Amino acid sequence: MNDTPTTDAQRRHDPSVRGFASDNYAGVHPEILAAFALANDGHQVAYGEDDYTAHLQEVFRRHFGERAEAFPVFNGTGANVVSLQALLPRWGAVIAAESAHINVDECGAPEKIAGIKLLTVPTPDGKLTPELIDRQAWGWGDEHRAQPLAVSITQSTELGTCYTAEEIRAICDHAHERGMLVHVDGSRLANAAATLGLPLRAFTTDAGVDILSFGGTKNGLLLGEAVVVLNPDAVRNILFLRKMSMQLASKMRFISVQFEALLSGDLWLRNAGHANAMAKRLEAAVRDIEGVEVVRPVQANAVFALLPREVSERLQKRYRFYFWNEHTGEVRWMAAFDTTEADIDAFASAIAEEMGKR
């Protein structure tokens, strides 16, 4: 290979432009890009039999305990679909918050691809509790009802909130006492760890979670998530399910080496902690702008706010972000690992300026 690679591709975007629509809008962290180069060149066995994937098991075990086993996949929807299938029989159902990604944002993949019934519960803050779970935890043995055999929670939640370790422990105990297993959609698990100030295992493995979808893409990876089995007694046939679910990467070394770069040192925590801090900075900056109300606790990297719709629409011409609820006009602003203090300050100034034009 050439020492000085050239390319016929051209840069087609302005790299100084950053928005607040999603942490998925960010690029790849430079330390992750460097890891790609490390893994490149030469040949490695395909489909996960490579040296990077082998080493990854040690990396995940350091974070999640000796029984943990990681299965790299392409994306978060795939991680959820594989995880839930591994927990449930054909007649199984999973109890989840109404706002859960598996319910709202996966085009029905858990139902259509995995054939799993979702039993959802409205929540005030995106978080299930034992009491909320009980609204759907009934009917075992009744052949007419899909059997509630698992609970899925998201940490941090789709509404930017975090469960405490004790809350997750209470959910796991409650579920297990009723014969249900527990899945965590940890697409933003690192953000929760940064907020809680706890090691990853403290609110997963040690709290009794059985299986986890661990996020990488939103925290600086190019792509890649991992199904992490925390309780091997609870799952079945992950290898087959991953392939059947179209989540088996042939060049898996490139997903695995990214996770090695993310998790071997503190990059995972630095990135997530930074994104969280930028969300807090935004919350603080808009708090004093009259007419702007932050409507949910800021416990991860998202800020949810209410402001006049026409102001949001004008702002959207300057910065990318989404309406979270078209009906109420609530908007979601997200920070990423590469959001800068200057980005936040400029955005807050733009909000103040547009509010002033009313």
**CB contact set of 152 (below 8 Å; sequence gap of 6+):** 80, 84, 94, 95, 96, 100, 102, 182, 183, 184, 185
Is residue 271 involved in binding ligand PLP (CB under 6 A)?
A: no
Residue 158 touches ligand PLP, criterion: CB under 6 A: yes
In the list 53, 77, 123, 191, the residue contacting ligand PLP (rule: CB under 6 A) is 77
Which residues 161-200 are close enough to bind ligand PLP by CB under 6 A? 185, 187
Among 76, 126, 216, 220, binds ligand PLP (CB under 6 A): 76
Residues within window 22-61 making contact with ligand PLP, judged by CB under 6 A = none
Shorter beta-carbon distance to ligand PLP: residue 147 or 191: 191
Name which position in 85, 120, 154, 256 contacts ligand PLP (CB under 6 A): 154
Closer to ligand PLP by CB, 189 or 289: give it: 189
- Secondary structure class of 186 (helix, strand, coil): strand
- Taking the least distance from each CB to ligand PLP, the nearer of 147 and 160 is 160
CA atoms of 126 and 162, how far apart (whole Å): 9
In the Cβ-directed half-sphere of 200, how many Cα atoms lie within 13 Å? Answer: 26
Q: Are 274 and 268 in contact (CB under 8 A)?
A: no
* Nearest residue (CB) to ligand PLP, 123 versus 187: 187
Question: Which stretch of DSSP H or E encloses residue 350?
Answer: helix 341-356
> Contact region for ligand PLP (CB under 6 A) — 11-19, 73-81, 238-246, 270-278?
73-81
Instruction: With contacts defined by CB under 6 A, name the span among 71-79, 242-250, 252-260, 297-305 that binds ligand PLP.
Output: 71-79
- Interface with ligand PLP, residue 219, by CB under 6 A: no
The C-alpha atoms of residue 357 and residue 69 are separated, in whole angstroms, by: 55
Query: CA 5 to CA 236: how far, in whole Å?
Result: 45
Assign 146 to helix, strand or coil: coil
Measured from the CB atom, the residue of 77 and 147 that comes closer to ligand PLP is 77
Residue 154 beta carbon to ligand PLP: minimum distance, rounded to whole angstroms: 5
H runs (alpha helix) in 135-289:
165-177, 189-196, 238-244, 253-263, 267-287
DSSP per-residue letters across 33-100: HHHHHHH-SS---STT-SHHHHHHHHHHHHHH-TT-EEEEES-HHHHHHHHHHHH--TTEEEEEETT-
Three-state SS at 30: helix
Among 18, 29, 63, 101, binds ligand PLP (CB under 6 A): 101
What's the min distance (Å) between Cβ of 217 and ligand PLP?
A: 6
The site for ligand PLP (CB under 6 A) is made up of 75-77, 101, 154, 158, 185, 187, 217
